[in-house]
Chain A
């Protein structure tokens, strides 16, 4: 291989290309790192204006009724065009029923009777105060909205790495393993039940406290639906937990409530009346 001689002042073409390439690579590595460093430093100094924190109170006794839970789940499924995938490995669920021992593992013991142990509980994303999912997302595709405390997902930015699913202690997040559209329920005319975008394969989704309905001044779909079925009045209460006069705050003062996995420090905002 011949050696390129460099004449005075003239760098060889090869050297130029190498250095240009190195600059491009270096910048594409260095800029994000620098930006992240600045962002991390900036976060310490910015004062957070406290917004509200939406919260939900679930009356476990009332939610034992199948009809109440069904109403909530169906309302959510229809309001958000959630697919019904028969293979449970690929299922997508925002609000669902699980057994008491799975929702509150630290509250059962060896002699808990089966009726209590297997009692049905309605579970969903807890919109935690210190969410583990938000901490781990590499693109801020999921974040905790400062204005109202809802943990949101931006379906346009999610890269589908599923780190948030590994991080969530409550199993609240579902991944679209396949295209959901064929599995979304349609009404008698073949239309979807709602205009809510159906999401594509490859992104993660979860309960969003019906942010789009809250924007229009409506209550979340599940809360509205349970109030209309027998025995469902007050099964789900929704409100701003930072407002001392809200319905949820009053319930939290007057009734005995628990949250899921408090020892983990995530600060869930879905409370369960025992």
Chain B
């Protein structure tokens, strides 16, 4: 290979550029901190266990919405046997009224932008 020097140099630059997210993170940031959510003080547990809620809350909310507005149902019996009223505004926001200290923490960490708050409002006044 005539241009061996240049090819290897080019490959090295390419690797550095492409692997930027890996080496930059290791050298400057240290460990990423898990999101710091502010948990409610009025209830000890959520509608379902926390692990399950973290993974499935969008599905739960969809099911609740369809059950309430399409079927006219109001009550949800959780896996722990407790009955809850199916209401995002009433039940969910009743315990987690401030999105900045709860919802936003994990959503920022995971870099997702759900559009809930285009329409839904946090509990007013009170």
Judge A-B direct contact (beta carbons within 8 Å). yes
Report A's interface with B, CB cutoff 8 A. Answer: 81, 143, 145-148, 152, 154-156, 187, 189, 191-200, 211, 215
Say yes or no: B65 contacts A192, CB within 8 Å. no
Residues of B53-110 at the interface with A, using a CB-CB cut-off of 8 Å, are 65, 68-72, 74, 89, 93
Say yes or no: B72 contacts A145, CB within 8 Å. yes
**Contact with A191, one of B70, B74, B125 (Cβ below 8 angstroms):** B125
Task: Please indicate the chain A residues that have their CB under 8 angstroms from the CB of B89 in the complex.
Answer: 195-197
The residue on B at minimum CB distance from A147 is B72
Complex Cα distance, B125 from A147, in Å, reads 34
Complex Cα distance, B73 from A148, in Å, reads 11
- Residues A197 and B119 in contact in the complex (CB < 8 Å), given A152-B69, A154-B69, A189-B125: yes
Query: What are 14 A-B pairs with beta-carbon distances under 8 A?
Result: A81-B121, A145-B72, A146-B72, A147-B72, A152-B70, A187-B125, A192-B124, A193-B124, A195-B93, A195-B124, A196-B121, A197-B121, A200-B115, A200-B118
Task: Please indicate the chain B residues that have their CB under 8 angstroms from the CB of A148 in the complex.
Answer: 72
B44 close to A (CB within 8 Å):
no
Complex Cα distance, B69 from A211, in Å, reads 8
B2 close to A (CB within 8 Å):
no
B5 close to A (CB within 8 Å):
no
The residue on A at minimum CB distance from B115 is A200
Say yes or no: B65 contacts A154, CB within 8 Å. yes
